[in-house]
Amino acid sequence: MLIFTRSLFLKSSNCLEIMMNSRRAMCSLAGLHGRKLQEPWLMKNLAFINGKFVGAKSGKTFEVDNPASGKIIGEVPAMDASDTKEAIAAAHAAFATWKNTTAKERSKLLRRWFTLLEEHKEDLAIILTAEAGKPLAESRGEVAYGSSFLEFFAEEATRIHGEVLQPALPNREMLLIRQPVGVAGLITPWNFPNAMITRKAGAALAAGCTCVVKPAEDTPFSALALAALADKAGIPPGVFNVITSLKSDAAAVGNLLCTSPLVAAISFTVSWPPSPSLVSLMAAISVNGGATVLLGGAPHTAGALFYQPTLLTDVTPDMPCVATEIFGPVVAISKFETEEEALRIANDCKSGLAGYFISQDVSQVWRVARQLEVGMVGINEGLISAAEAAFGGIKESGLGREGSSHGIDDYTEIKYLCIGNTHL
């Protein structure tokens, strides 16, 4: 089973989503400067395998920096395929017991994990800002968003239902039951280092699966803090594992997660690597092609990793700022005459995660929403993602759905039971 989503967004969503997802183009100056963790033990510098915080077998580590200041905030193990194999084996061994725990017990543990996230939300936000570069207010929002998935899936764990079928032949009963698939490999990006993990792991653990999490090289500390809280919540050893690795080892680690016979499911979310120079280039090409800069349009004085929020008008569908996923703080505004033209422009895109529009016409709301080639539509609303809603796209924006009751589907398999001679 494969769940694949991309943190790329339909060009009609550039105004909001792209500005929320640029680590290198919009960095916070806060970091950890002037802020101390209330619970320093949350800042782990070791990976988490089989209930223990461990280093890489090679002894190698790599540095993680604050993208705003460039200062090193810590080191974590540079794990390779051999470490990954150990984590997979631990998850596989733990699955034999975890799959047989009751839904109520899994629900209680997820609820306990959620409660701990709530209790330590400020520390989690500080860690997230330090490694991902988000403003602290946005990091606080992500931690709240991330914890909501644990709360939601704690409830969903007790609502994984089967079916009773009506047999066509006499003297038999027919049922469908849902069972966990096994070990899930969870590969997450840097742009939502807390919520991307809880959205995947919450569903997997609720279903009865065990996990091996591979966070992005840029943001391992949020993942390790989640592991520390999972351990404190009482989640058994081997059920939730976190491995950290360099980009240079990502191919070997990812290949093992995807090909190991012990791994039954892969949930993989990638994010386009942002670059201020790329943002600047795309904006410049668009301006040379006739676009008008109303705001910004140049690197920021804060430093090389910053770019000014930029507003472009008079753009055409073939310009890079419209046709390419810039993944930076650039809003491109184009004109249209008819509803049909607007839909054609919006749908002329390889990706299809989310689209947004404003309308008070009920007929138009239904008509446009149905015709937008995306997995999610925001109508008169920009912030649409929620734990109870199915997150996912179409086209090159991925396969599968996360969040909602459907988020558990891919971590379970259906088993058909036919019982004969029931009326003897």
Give per-residue pLDDT as tens, 43-85.
999 999 999 999 999 999 999 999 988 999 999 999 999 999 9
Q: Above pLDDT 70, what percent of the chain? A: 87
pLDDT higher than threshold 60 for residue 368: yes
Contact (CB, 8 A) for 231 and 158: no
Specify the pLDDT at position 22.
37
| Distances 270 to 7, 29, 111 between C-alpha atoms, Å | 6, 25, 28
Domain that holds residue 154: 26-273
> Residue 39 domain-assigned?
yes
Amino acid symbol at 317:
P
Contact 219, 146 (CB under 8 A): no
- Give strand pairing partners of 398: 5
Q: What is the pLDDT of residues 325-357, one digit of tens each?
A: 777 888 888 889 999 999 999 999 888 999 999
Cβ neighbours of residue 122 closer than 8 Å, sequence gap 6 or more: 38, 140
Domain shared by 100 and 225, yes or no: yes
Same domain, 222 and 357: no
Does one domain contain both 268 and 301? no
Q: Are residues 96 and 224 in the same domain?
A: yes
Query: How many domains in the chain?
Result: 2
Residues 295 and 173 in one domain: no
pLDDT at 265: 97
pLDDT digits (tens, 9 = 90+) for 179-208: 999 999 999 999 999 999 999 999 999 999
Is 190 in the same domain as 66? yes
Give me the pLDDT at residue 28, please.
36
Whether residue 153 is contained in a domain is answered as: yes
Residues 267, 332 within the same domain: no
Total residues found in the chain within this entry: 424
Closest by Cα among 259, 311, 344, 335 to 84: 259
Confidence band of 422 (pLDDT split at 50, 70, 90): confident
Highest mean pLDDT among 14-28, 124-138, 303-317: 124-138
pLDDT at residue 130 above 80? yes
Nearest to 307 by CA among 299, 315, 295: 299
Query: Residue range 247-269: average pLDDT?
Result: 94
Domain boundary at 379, 399, 415, which?
379
On whether residue 414 sits in a domain, the answer given is no
Greater pLDDT, 306 or 46: 46
Regarding whether 335 and 265 lie in a shared domain, the answer is no
In this prediction, residue 17 carries a pLDDT of 32
Both structure tokens of 346: 């919006």
pLDDT tier, 286 (very low <50, low <70, confident <90, very high otherwise): low
Q: b or e along 368-393 (b: 16 or more beta carbons within 10 Å of the residue's beta carbon)?
A: beeebbbbbbbbeeeebbebeebbbb
- What's the CATH number where 143 sits? 3.40.605.10
Of the two residues 282 and 414, the one the predictor is more confident about is 414
Taking residues 7-24, report their average pLDDT: 32
Lowest mean pLDDT among 10-24, 86-100, 206-220: 10-24
Model pLDDT, residue 411:
98
Residue 315 sits in a domain of what CATH number? 3.40.309.10
Taking the complete model, does pTM exceed 0.75, yes or no? yes
Residues 319 and 346 in one domain: yes
